[in-house]
Amino acid sequence: MSASPVPRPFRLIVTGGGTGGHTYPAATVVRTLQSRFAATGEALDVLWIGTPDGLEARVAPAEGIAFTTVATGKIRRSSNPLKMASPANLRDMARVPLGVAQARKIVSDFRPDVVLATGGYVAVPAGLAARMCHRPLVLHEQTVRLGLANRKLAGSATRIAVSSESTVPLLPESVRSAAVVTGNPVRPEVLAGHPDKAFGSLGLDGFDRRLPTVYVTGGAQGSQQINEVVRDALPWLLSRANLVHQCGPANLAGLQQHAAALPAELAARYHLTGFVGPELPDVLALADLVISRSGAGTLAELTALGKPAVFIPLASSAGNEQAHNARHLEESGAAVALLGDVTAAALRNAVGPLLSDPARRDLMAERARTHGRPDAADRLVDVILSAASG
């Protein structure tokens, strides 16, 4: 009696990266898909197409995902058409056809059931290759407006997974029928923090538990703009709250020098750190208010957790997406957006009412939660499987 044939594994190509905003949602989806298939005993084969110098080149191997690269080019955007035709742009645009040819061979050889593209320049060659090889293409957009790569690929997509209902009317009418609102996948560990653990891991013995706690972050490298406005408002903030301030390693020494002049009572409520690592979920669980940039990943985490936030968008973000993100939440009372030239006075005006009124914080938290989709990874996996089955 002959043995039963081994079922063919489900094959997924993931493409996207450059930044954490494109990379981490993809990694979270792969993890979720792996769990889904492990539970049913089915096999899964994943290949990530990225760039050698993007964040994905580190994240994919660390997650045990096979990784390969293709040529791609970065388009340096400008409102001046002449600057768009810069030598650097022309040189990079000339690399795109090579990347498409390389991606087409990879897709043809791997024969994926689905190609998932999460944005970034590298997604364009792989997304175009999916169309050429007649493979289903699922796009995922993290921000309110489609990024440049996803705009280029939208017409080729089987499904367009978006993070917000408000994205759908902004899509070209011809592709709206392909849109599905999934939310932006959030790493499950971020949602599993415990506030008491933050006290132990960070040594927050001097914190006054009767006061609210504010978490300030400018991302892994810190934000000079956020650091400066918080520094200038520091005594005022510490008279009203405990403060965990993640400032970026390069900014630590200067802020430590400034903090040394604080009165002892205020200094005890100020925890300054260059980087927050595995303890981040616990810090977020502890925080009653967050002051941060408004990148897509940050928004997904804070809304999934239902955290009141004051956003200081990065003005130079691609397509001004951070300002769009922050305004979108502010319009529904789910956050406060500080735009333009942000001063310590503006920060005090935004933060003051939230620190002094727990009911106002609770209302903002409730409204933030209505935008959160902690099950976004599962929703996106459903979309991927649906696209594969036609």
- Provide the CATH number for the domain around residue 327: 3.40.50.2000
From first to last of its 390 residues, the chain has per-residue pLDDT tens of 555 566 789 999 999 998 888 999 999 999 999 999 999 999 999 999 999 999 999 999 999 999 999 998 665 455 555 555 566 555 666 678 999 999 999 999 999 999 999 999 999 999 999 999 999 999 999 988 898 899 999 999 999 999 999 899 999 999 999 999 999 999 999 999 999 999 999 999 999 999 999 999 998 888 999 999 999 999 999 999 999 999 999 999 999 999 999 999 999 999 999 999 999 999 999 999 999 999 999 999 999 999 999 999 988 776 688 999 999 999 999 999 999 889 999 999 999 999 999 999 999 999 999 999 999 999 999 999 999 998
State whether 230 and 207 are in the same domain: yes
pTM above 0.85, yes or no: yes
Indicate whether 76 belongs to any domain. yes
| CA-to-CA separations, 387 to 218, 347, 390, in angstroms, rounded | 37, 46, 5
Indicate whether 289 belongs to any domain. yes
Indicate whether 5 belongs to any domain. no
Indicate whether 123 belongs to any domain. yes
Torsion of Cα atoms, 138 then 144 then 150 then 151, to 10°: 130
State whether 209 and 100 are in the same domain: no
Per-residue confidence (pLDDT) for residue 222, from 0 to 100 = 87
State whether 332 and 378 are in the same domain: no
Indicate whether 384 belongs to any domain. yes
State whether 69 and 200 are in the same domain: no
Residue from 339, 383, 333, 390 nearest 361 by CA: 333
Q: Could you list the residue range(s) of the whole structural domain that residue 346 is in?
A: 188-371
DSSP reduced 3-state for 113: coil
State whether 283 and 205 are in the same domain: yes
How far from chain centre, in Å, is Cα 309? 16
State whether 72 and 148 are in the same domain: yes
| CA-to-CA separations, 251 to 155, 344, 387, in angstroms, rounded | 44, 18, 46
State whether 239 and 385 are in the same domain: no
DSSP codes, 318-369: GGGHHHHHHHHHHHTTS-EE--SS--HHHHHHHHHHHHH-HHHHHHHHHHHH
Per-residue confidence (pLDDT) for residue 20, from 0 to 100 = 87
State whether 205 and 182 are in the same domain: no
Listed in sequence order, the residues at least 6 apart from 229 whose beta carbon sits closer than 8 Å to its beta carbon are 312, 342, 343, 344, 346, 347
Number of domains in the chain: 2
Indicate whether 1 belongs to any domain. no
State whether 212 and 160 are in the same domain: no
The per-residue pLDDT for range 143-199, each reduced to its tens digit, is 888 988 999 999 999 999 999 998 999 999 999 999 999 999 999 999 999 999 999
